[in-house]
Amino acid sequence: MPEQPDLFQRQRAFAAHLRDPAKVPGPDDIEDRRMAIYRDLVFNNVSALLAGNFPVMRRILSDAHWDGLIRDFFVHHRAKTPLFLELGQEFLDFLQSARADDPRDPPFLLELAHYEWVELALQISDVAPDRTRLDPTGDLLEGRPVLSPLAWNLSYRFPVHRIGPDCQPDAPPQVPTHLVIYRTPDDAIAFLEINAVTQRLLILLEEETPQTGREVLGHIAAELGHSDPDQVIAFGAGLMEDLRTKGVLLGTTR
């Protein structure tokens, strides 16, 4: 239709003004009082949605800092999805690739955003294990343990799970933070702070070449140069049972 190109141009101009009203003038034939309704509606809705996705970040940033961050998101990011549930991923992508340098941003901002996004991603994930191939009560030492696809093994420079209004470190500690963030059998989101050895255990359990729990723990004992491998295996057996109780391990393959 001949009027479509003009319509598209008007839509783009309208949207450009909503994204960056300080630099892009509004349409000449719409009074600013009416445009202000659209400006506030779009900005406030997205701000409220992202505040719900990233509640800790919202609490630790001042109103002016938060509003500036959301405006920067509007101006410099082009979302690839119209789905509200995926807006958190778009915001994280923006922080990773397009966020303008701002001295007000705390050094842990990106890691905190990722941590908060993981919680949302696990809540809405529709990934499910093939339980027909699982033995939930299988022997974790002699069988091949199965890690839940809803348990994410992550490392951060900052202790992101402790950050809040009363905990805002200026620099990362010497030891990184290792976390397992997972969805429990009753669909709650939980986290478990782990050490480097437990993280190594989970990494080995995820490898494509399947190994029994005993083989994995023996491998770890060798890496540690431990004088008594049986002690490592005994400790690891109890650890794996605890991880199964929490839902991080689902059992063994049949």
Of the chain, the end-to-end C-alpha distance in Å amounts to 61
Angle, helix 229-246 to helix 213-224, in steps of 10 degrees: 130
* pLDDT category of residue 217 using cuts at 50, 70 and 90: very high
Residues paired with residue 249 on neighbouring β-strands, in sequence order: 147
Domain 131-253 fold is Outer Surface Protein A; domain 3 (3.90.930)
* CATH placement of domain 4-105: 1.10.150
Task: Please say whether the dihedral angle defined by the alpha carbons of residues 12, 18, 24 and 25, taken in this order, is positive or negative.
Answer: positive
Sequence ranges of the domains in the chain: 4-105, 131-253
Q: In the prediction, which pLDDT does 1 show? A: 47
Task: Please report which confidence band the pLDDT of residue 4 belongs to, taking 50, 70 and 90 as the band edges.
Answer: low
Could you report the per-residue pLDDT of 98-119, keeping only the tens digit for each? 897 889 999 999 999 999 999 9
pTM for the whole thing?
A: 0.89
Rounded alpha-carbon distances, angstroms, from residue 227 to 1, 89, 121, 218, 254: 80, 46, 42, 12, 33
In contact, 173 and 159? CB cutoff 8 Å:
yes
Same fold, 4-105 and 131-253: no
CA distance 114 to 117: 5
Closest listed residue to residue 180, CA positions, set 153, 198, 207: 153
